[in-house]
Structure 1
Amino acid sequence: MRTLRLPLPRRRTRTRVLIGGLIVALLAGGLAVAGLTAASGPPAGSDAAAPAGTPPADVTYRDPHVPVDARVADLLARMTLDDKIGQMTQAERASVTPDDLTRYRLGSVLSGGGSAPTPNTPASWADMYDRFQDGALAAPLGVPVIYGVDAVHGHNNVVGATIFPHNIGLGAAGDPDLVERIGRATATEMRGTGIPWNFAPCLCVVRNDRWGRGYESFGETPALPSAMTSVITGMQGPSLADPTSVLATAKHYLGDGGTTGGVDQGDTELPEAELRRVHLPPFQAAIARGVGSIMVSYNSWNGSKLHGHRYLVTDVLKTELGFTGFVVSDWNGIDQIDGVPGLSAADVRQAVNAGIDMAMVPTDWRRFIDLLRTEVEAGRVAMDRVDDAVRRILTKKVELGLFERPYADRSLTASIGAPAHRALAREAVGASQVLLRNTGGILPLDPAGNRIFVAGSNADDIGHQSGGWTITWQGGSGPITPGTSILAGIRAAVDPSTQVTYDATGTGIDSSYRVAVAVVGETPYAEGEGDRPAAMGLRDTDLATIERLRAAGVPVVVVLVSGRPLDVAGQVSGWAALLASWLPGTEGAGVADVLFGVRAPTGKLPLTWMAGADQQPIHDGDGQSPLYPYGFGLTYPSAD
């Protein structure tokens, strides 16, 4: 998904037409006071003000003692076409106001990556969420809004939240229980800002390391992300009604990790049997865990866009696999169906008829509403299809308890960045480290009586070690959020008798140091920007730093901070050790725990490590000879 920063839209001026307009307004207000249904309200998009106030608690759909299905049926029966279309519409926070939610009956609001209130604090997030909820509840039927964010490795849009390792690191850890606990902690921090819906987990099976979203995957085999669907259980908790639970989203359906050339939003050119064998199992596992929503992928399958693919969305996902939650599009994803820029009637018609229930139309949501209304009134989208979509959405809102608890629970706000969550993240970082080389058993390092030189572009940079989808969409450099850098973790791990010297470029090292630790690798990126169609090696500046360290005659331990395997086959023989740290997040002390033997490395490669970029795509069982095979990982003591 992408984020656009736009000014808030102007509110349209209200036209009053002398006596006739006053009579219409009075009648509308009187009918609302009388407790009649939304049929008495103005059509979405009209200039008339929506009557305020919600029906009393003894109305069936507002009664928590009534079964969910009965509540949803009662509410659906009260809805006009405009109410229903509003529920199917999701707008970005920067392009919508609370009054818009009242007027257009919008069902959902989202924050794209980096779209945050000012200041970016937990309290500001909760305040913003409550204001949007005020707008939704002021509409005639008072249906609460469901707000969604990409909390893909912790509540990562919020400054101060705990940032866990990205999925590729958790795949290396290979511990479903650990991942479930991370899902629970993330959900709690989300609810501390009010947010009840997470666009996670990503269950793609990454088959080409050139793809810039590969770090969002747990690994290259279907079994690994399938096992890690335990994160859904963590997020959704014992019940969606639990105040610390959030709705999870399995994404991106289907085959986004298998595009030709690893091109983001590209074409997955596979026979159906292979698509089902490789890319479908994680979604089957997610459905078995009761995942509440599924997001459709940007990619095509053999030339046909997934956002308009009725066979895969309705016939396979909903009918064959029995998915009962709701399907949401990706950011402007339905715009791409007809191949022409901009949202068209053909895009809307094909997407909804294909089985998409909620449209993520961040800035063009008014046009979506108008187009869908026209398509329904013309009979090109059946009312039964609309009712099915709205029923699915309303069911999750009821199950989440949003009608009873629509506002942020401020008692949970203190959980954001809490010590227990940071300790969990540190545990996850340690578990995710994969030791690939350890010549002469140089690791673990001695914390006492040692002289250690630390260098590298990623040694003292919270932003770099956290990667993309951290505070902003593409991520950033420097102290973008509170945390412990890898350098700080190293310094905290050693005895006072050990000297730790740091210079990012390695300047100042000499032969008196017993070991040099070079923390190098990638800088942050997210989708699109992260694709690597050409070379996949270390940057020249990182290579120069490592060579400067080696020239001093000191053994070099390379700590690789990256979202994927890098092409290092030409250099690794000169390194004493190689530790794949992936993108560890805010708790860099977890890397130091492994470097100093506080815990032994137990991570295993979730991806086959190429011997050269020309091997891409490379994966387990394809007959190629990698530098390190899938599942490889050393522990202590070890030498190669």
Structure 2
Amino acid sequence: MKQSRLASTTISATALALAFATAQAATSVEERVRGLVHKMTLAEKIGQMTQAERQHATPEDVKTYYLGAILNGGGSIPKENRRSDWVEMIRDYQAAAGGTRLGIPILYGADAVHGHNNVLGATIFPHNVALGATRNPQLARAIAAATAREVAATGIHWTFAPTLCVARDDRWGRAYECFGEDPELVSAFAGPFIRGLQGERLDGNNLAADKVLATAKHWVADGGTTYGTGDEGYAIDRGDTRLGADSLRAVHIAPYLPALKADVGSVMVSYSSVNGTKMHEHKALVTGTLKRELGFAGITLSDWSALGEIPAETNRARIVRAVNAGLDMVMEPEKWRDFITDLTAAVEAGEVSMARIDEAVTRILTTKFRAGLFEWPLPPLATAPDADHLIGHPAHRDLARQAVRESLVLLKNAGGLLPLDKKAKIFVAGDHADNIGLQSGGWTIEWQGKRGSITRGTTILDGIRALAEREVTYSPTGEGAAGHDVALIVVGEEPYAEGMGDYRPLPCSKCQPITLAKSQREMLARVQVSGVPMAVVILSGRPLMIAEDIGSWQAAVAAWLPGSEGAGVADVLFGEQAPSGKLPVTWPKSLAQLPINTGDAKYDPLFPYGFGLTYGAPSSIR
């Protein structure tokens, strides 16, 4: 949609800050918020509770409807996806918000879940499952801080990260968004990651200090849904988690405790259900547990159009259930006008109390003040002279490459095939070896991700060629291996996100079999016939079923979804750094074992949780 251009788009960041300054005589955030809420009309309050998508809401809409927040969906980008395009767009929105009666700035949110992954040329870090394999929360904090800098440089204030799911079933298509299957591991990453994004706490200076608001998601138990609860008989995304209260707390609520201690600014509620009740209408867990018991004081936010999944006959009824359950802001990307109309009618009819509306608006405004949004509606970094250099900054790429190195898990190394000899005659096979889109996975430039050179970075093949001292032979399909000293075969999954990645048994239109594709098995067989020793690198968001294949491989490495800096994989293959990663999830022998998790009574995996070899250590017998 073509967006309105306002004459004020050239207003400087300083002028915008002055335009948004309110209640300067107030001595506390509480007083400033109280004063604003007292002045606000119902329309202004409900506007603050509304988040629309950038393609469906213009700056003029922000001014007319007092919208509190804007976001972009995956793949939704302004103009040519340059940093300056993002800054210009957000400046337009903020100028419009500044032109309203009370001049309340908008929050702009984006899914920067493994780096600023919507933006062309940004650093794409490994997905969270890989970070879990590093066992290095401080590295994750540094990654979050680098991400915050790139996000702030585009004028954005808010990221919908980190995901604090505990992945209890690898058939779930979002498993790679989790740090692992064990709540203790996820908990170890929660606080450092949030502090990397936000700083130590929200103190009004966060945006000025190159930080952004974080979001702990998805409250709660999105990683524990029961397989087979969907309409099609196999869905697991947006499904139902069936657990007793003690298990729910021990496994799925536990990672939120360090997040709340880190003063996380927002919590996104899950599409899924707990014991049959959709989380978006689960008052006991949203208001009772999260807000009252655990003391969360920030913004509770719905997921994308999620109210539509509440089982009620009308949109108004769904809105009433969600808002009364404790939702403060509703992400209604396209039909946000209907949300405003129906919530207004519900309040006027007494179906939602003014006290509930005022609580929601108070939380939203308080969080905006505490982040420094009123003083800095456009993050200062967005107008810094050298801001263009922050997108994909070399220091950020170096950090991403280090994360790739630390995340690799050596599963097998018979005869010490790895590390590779730089003087060896090396054969590389598999299209995953030379494809940034495949190595980055979902949530990369587009929502589902895609094959190809979708952004800047280095492929695994680039890294191998840079380190090898002889010419490297490459064949996407595996022909021509004979006569080489070693064959390096890179296999893996196609990109996917959310429910599109759920395991689906054959036959289906878009199956996710969690096994090697037929073409990959044929390629491996082709290389095996050559008699050349094989080292196999697996690029995936979860363990693939390889028990029937790994016996013919001399070496195997789990490289997860490494992102834009594929050369980090080559660093480990050549011994520039020894492998140190440990499995953040259990690697099963077969699909029949799923779900399988550490601590299960019957636990006989292919590789256990925490497994990981290194060079010079005894090789796995598997």
**Aligned with residue 613 of structure 1, among 568, 591, 594:** 591
C-alpha contact 2:431 2:477 (8 A) present in aligned 1:
yes
Equivalent position of 2:411 in the other structure? 436
Aligned position for 1:503: 475
Q: TM-score, normalised by structure 1?
A: 0.89
Corresponding residue for 1:541?
A: 519
* Distance across 2 between alignment mates of 1:187 and 1:56: 20
Is 1:60–1:71's contact at 8 Å kept on the other side of the alignment? no
Distance change >3 Å, CA 64–CA 421, structure 1 → 2:
farther
Instruction: Verify: 1:231 aligned to 2:193, yes or no.
Output: yes
The answer for the alignment partner of 1:193 in structure 2 is 154
User: Following the alignment from structure 1 to structure 2, what is the Cα–Cα distance between the partners of residues 92 and 60?
Assistant: 26
Q: After alignment, is 371-380 or 180-189 more displaced?
A: 371-380
Q: CA deviation at 1:413?
A: 3.6
- How far does residue 129 in structure 1 lie from its aligned partner after superposition? 1.1
CA contact (8 A) 1:55 1:141 kept: no
Aligned to 1:18: none
- The letter for the 2-side match of 1:504 is P
Aligned to 1:21: none
Residue in 2 aligned with 1:415?
A: 390
User: 8 Å contact 1:607–1:631 — kept in the other structure?
Assistant: yes
Q: Which residue does 2:8 correspond to in 1?
A: none
What is the alpha-carbon distance in structure 1 between the residues aligned to residue 519 and residue 30 of structure 2?
A: 60
Aligned-pair CA distance for 1:396: 1.3
Quick one: which amino acid aligns to residue 350 of structure 1?
A: R
Q: Report how many aligned residue pairs link the two structures.
A: 586
Corresponding position of 1:14:
none
- The separation in 2 between residues aligned to 1:189 and 1:618, in whole angstroms, is 37
- Equivalent residue of 1:532, what SS? coil
Residues in 1 aligned to 2:164 and 2:25: alpha-carbon distance in whole angstroms: 33
**How far apart, in 2, do the equivalents of 1:197 and 1:566 lie?**
34
Deviation at 1:66, TM superposition (A): 3.1
Q: CA deviation at 1:9?
A: 9.3
The aligned amino acid for 1:468 is G
What is the match of residue 627 of structure 1? 606
CA distance in 1, matches of 2:582, 2:18: 54
Q: Indicate the SS of the match to 2:499.
A: coil
Question: CA shift at 1:601, angstroms?
Answer: 0.5
1:369 to 340, 344, 348: 340
Deviates more, 1:425-434 or 1:499-508: 499-508
Contact 2:94–2:106 under 8 Å retained in 1: yes
Larger mean CA deviation between 203-212 and 55-64 belongs to: 55-64
- Find the counterpart in structure 2 of residue 600 from structure 1: 578
For residues 545-565 of structure 1, the C-alpha deviation after alignment (integer angstroms, 9 at most, x for no partner) is 111111110011000000000
CA distance in 1, matches of 2:187, 2:32: 33
Q: Does 1:258 align with 2:212?
A: no
Q: Which secondary structure does the structure 2 equivalent of 1:499 belong to?
A: coil
Question: Residues 19 and 98 of structure 2 are in contact (CA less than 8 Å); yes or no, is this contact kept in structure 1?
Answer: no
Deviation at 1:452, TM superposition (A): 0.3
Structure 1 residues 413 and 142, CA gap change in structure 2 (3 angstroms)? farther
Gaps of 5+ in 2: 6-14, 228-234, 506-512
Name the residue aligned to 2:463: 489
- Unpaired runs of 5+ residues, structure 1, are 1-6, 12-53
Does structure 1 conserve the Cα–Cα contact (< 8 Å) formed by 2:201 and 2:262? no
Q: Does the 8 Å CA contact 1:183/1:231 hold for their aligned counterparts?
A: yes
Distance 1:491 1:8 in 2: 45
Question: In structure 2, how many angstroms separate the alpha carbons of the residues matched to 1:256 and 1:204?
Answer: 6
CA distance in 1, matches of 2:26, 2:106: 21
Partner of 1:562: 540
Alignment of 1:208-223 (within 5 A): 208-223=169-184
| 1:321 to 1:574, Cα distance in 2 relative to 1, 3 A | same
Q: How does 1:386-405 map to 2 (within 5 A)?
A: 386-405=357-376
Describe the SS at the equivalent of 1:202.
coil
Separation in 2, partners of 1:129, 1:488: 36
Residue by residue, what CA displacement relative to the aligned partner does 1:332-357 show, whole Å, maximum 9, x if unpaired?
A: 111111255xx611111010000000
What is the Cα deviation at residue 369 of structure 1?
0.5
Alignment partner, residue 231 of structure 2: none
Deviates more, 1:461-470 or 1:536-545: 536-545
Query: What is the deviation of 1:68?
Result: 1.4
Q: How far apart, CA to CA, are the structure 1 residues paired with 2:365 and 2:25?
A: 14
In 2 relative to 1, CA 419–142 (structure 1 residues): closer, same or farther, beyond 3 Å? same
Counterpart-to-counterpart distance in 2, 1:413 and 1:213:
32
**Percent identical:** 52
1:112-131 alignment, distance < 5 Å: 112-131=73-92
Q: 3-state SS of the aligned residue for 2:317?
A: helix
Summarize the alignment of residues 321-400 of structure 1 with structure 2, pairs less than 5 Å apart. Answer: 321-339=294-312, 344-400=315-371
1:61 partner SS: coil
Give me the whole-angstrom Cα distance separating, in 1, the residues matched to 2:80 and 2:20: 39
Whether 1:472 and 2:446 are equivalent positions in the alignment is yes
Higher RCO (CA < 8 A, seq sep 6+): 2
Q: CA deviation at 1:415?
A: 0.9
Over residues 224-256 of structure 1, what are the superposed CA-to-partner deviations in whole Å (9 max), with x where a residue is unaligned? 111111110000014542321100000000111
Asked if structure 1 preserves the Cα contact closer than 8 Å seen for 2:20 and 2:98, the reply is no
Cα drift, residue 536 of structure 1 = 2.3
SS at match of 2:399: helix
For residue 307 of structure 1, the aligned residue among 280, 284, 290 is: 280
CA distance in 1, matches of 2:17, 2:53: 30
- Give yes or no for contact 1:55–1:140 (8 Å, CA) kept in 2: no
Judge conservation of contact 1:62–1:403 (CA < 8 Å) in 2. Answer: no
Alignment of structure 1 residues 148-187 onto 2, 5 Å: 148-187=109-148
